[in-house]
Structure 1
Amino acid sequence: MRQMRRSRFAAALLGSMLAAASLTGCTTGDGGQETASPSPGENVSTAEKPTGRPEKEVELTMYLLGDPPRDLQQVMTELNKKLKRDINATLKINYISWGDQNTKYSLLLAAGEKFDLIYTSSWAFFQQEAPKGAFLALNELLPVYAPRTLKETPEAAWEQAKFNGNVYMIPQTYDAPVGQGLLIREDLRKKYNVPPVRTLDDLGVFLEAVKKHEPDMFPYNIGGSDKNNIILWAFKESKENWQGIGGTGTVHLFYDNDHPDKLLTLYELPDYPKFAERMRDWASKGYWSRSVLSNQMSAKDSFINGKSVVAHINLLSTNEEYKKVMDKHPDWELDWMIYGGLDKPLPRTAYITDGMAINARAANPERALMLLELLRTNREYYDLTMYGIKGKHYDLTADGKLTLPAGVSPSDNGFAPEAMGGWGWRVDRFVREPAKSWYKYLDLKQELQDNLYDAKLANFVVDVSSFKTELAAVQGVVKQYGEPVNFGLVDPQTAIPVLRQKLKEAGMEKIREEVTKQVKQFLTAGK
Structure 2
Amino acid sequence: MRKKVVSVILSMAMTASMLAGCGSASGGTESVSTENEGDAEIKDEATAKAPSVSLDDLPEKIGEGIVKATPEMYADVDLSEHKTVNITLIGDTPAAWDDVLAKTNEYLEPFNTDVDVSFLSWSDYQQMYPLTLTGGQVDLIFTAPWCFMYTEAAKGSFFVLDTDFISKNMPLTNKYQAAESWDETTISGQTIAVPSNQAQPMGKIVAIRQDLADKYGISSLDSWDDYMNYAKTIAEKETPESGIYALAASCDNNELWDVYRQQENTFLALDSDYFDLIYDYKEGSLPESSDIQLVYATDLFKSYAHDMKELADAGAWSRSALTNTVTDDDAFGNLQGASIAWNTSVFTYIDQAEQTEGVVGAAYDLTKNNLVGCECYSNNDMAIAAGSADPARAAMVLDILKNDTYLNHLWILGVEDEHYTINDAGEYTETDKAGDFAAYAISASWAIKNGDLKEAGGDPRAEKVTESWEERVVNNPTVTFVFDDSNVADYKAAVSAVLNDYVPMLELGLVDDVDSTIDEMIKACYDSGLQNVLDEFNTQYDAWKATR
TM-score of the alignment, normalized to the shorter chain, above 0.5: yes
Is the Cα–Cα contact under 8 Å of residues 245 and 254 in structure 1 kept in the other structure?
yes
The equivalent of 2:382 in structure 1 is 356
The answer for the alignment partner of 1:435 in structure 2 is 456
* Letter matched to residue 311 of structure 1: I
> Aligned partner of 1:158: which letter?
W
Preserved CA contact (<8 Å) 1:65 1:119? yes
Does the aligned pair in 1 maintain the 2:77–2:392 contact within 8 Å? Answer: no
C-alpha distance in 2 between matches for 1:105 and 1:511: 26
The match for 1:373 is 399
**Which secondary structure state, in structure 2, belongs to the residue aligned with residue 243 of structure 1?**
strand
The answer to whether residue 353 in structure 2 is matched with residue 325 in structure 1 is yes
Deviation at 1:171, TM superposition (A): 0.9
Residue 502 of structure 2 is matched in structure 1 by 481
Deviation per CA, 1:23-52: give whole Å up to 9, x if none: 4669534412424146445xxxxxxx456x
1:17 to 34, 49, 69: 49
Q: What's the secondary structure of 1:141's corresponding residue?
A: helix
Q: Which residue pairs with 1:34 in the alignment? A: 68
Q: Distance in 2 between matches of 1:364 and 1:50?
A: 10
Question: In 2 relative to 1, CA 149–462 (structure 1 residues): closer, same or farther, beyond 3 Å?
Answer: same
Query: For structure 1, which runs of at least 5 residues remain unmatched after alignment?
Result: 42-48
Distance 1:434 1:234, change over 3 A: closer
Q: Which of residues 256, 269, 279 is equivalent to 1:245?
A: 269
Higher relative contact order at CA 8 Å, sep ≥6: structure 1 or structure 2?
2
State the distance in 1 between where 2:346 and 2:313 align. Answer: 30
Q: Deviation of residue 349 (structure 1)?
A: 2.1
What are the within-5 Å matches in structure 2 for residues 276-355 of structure 1? 276-315=305-344, 317-326=345-354, 328-338=355-365, 341-355=367-381
Contact kept, 8 Å, 2:244 with 2:335, in 1: the verdict is no
Contact 1:189 1:195 in 2 (8 A): yes
**CA distance in structure 2 between the aligned counterparts of 1:318 and 1:128, rounded to whole angstroms:** 29
Shift of 1:428: 1.9
1:97 Cα deviation after fit? 2.8
Is 1:468 the equivalent of 2:496? no
Measured on the aligned residues, the alpha-carbon RMSD in Å equals 2.5
**Partner SS for 2:386:** coil
The answer to whether the 8 A contact 2:74-2:168 is kept is: yes
User: Which stretches of structure 1, 4 residues or more, deviate above 6 A after TM superposition?
Assistant: none
Q: Shift of residue 246 of structure 1?
A: 4.4
SS at match of 1:235: helix
- Look up the SS of the partner of 1:32 in the other structure: coil
3-state SS, counterpart of residue 287 of structure 1: coil
Q: 1:179 to 1:12 in 2, by over 3 A?
A: closer
AA in 2 matched with 1:201 = D
Identical pairs, percent: 22
Q: Aligned partners of 2:43, 2:340: CA distance in 1, in Å? A: 44
Deviation at 1:100, TM superposition (A): 3.2
Which one of the candidate residues 60, 63, 66 is aligned to 2:85?
Answer: 60
Counterparts of 1:32-111 in structure 2, within 5 Å, are 32-37=66-71, 39-40=73-74, 49=76, 54-85=79-110, 87-109=111-133, 111=134
Q: State the AA in 2 paired with 1:206.
A: Y
Q: Hey, what's the Cα distance between the residues in 1 that align with 2:480 and 2:72?
A: 29
Whether the aligned pair in 1 keeps the contact of 2:211 and 2:361 (CA below 8 Å) is yes
Q: How does 1:237-276 map to 2 (within 5 A)?
A: 237-238=263-264, 241-258=265-282, 259=287, 261=289, 262-276=291-305
Aligned to 2:200: 176
Within a 5 Å distance, the mapping from 1:104-183 to structure 2 comes to 104-109=128-133, 111-139=134-162, 140-183=164-207
Secondary structure at the aligned position of 2:278 is classed as: strand
Q: Distance in 2 between matches of 1:507 and 1:160?
A: 27
Corresponding position of 2:12: none
Structure 1 pair 524–112 and aligned structure 2 pair: CA distance change class (3 A): farther
- Once residues 237 and 16 of structure 1 are traced to their aligned partners in structure 2, the CA distance between those partners, rounded to angstroms, is 44
Name whichever of 277-286 and 26-35 sits farther off: 26-35
Deviates more, 1:460-469 or 1:280-289: 460-469
Gaps of 5+ in 2: 1-18, 23-39
Spell out, residue by residue over 1:60-85, the C-alpha distance to the aligned partner (whole angstroms, 9 max, x if none): 11122221111111111101111122
Q: For residue 177 of structure 1, report the CA deviation from its aligned partner.
A: 1.3
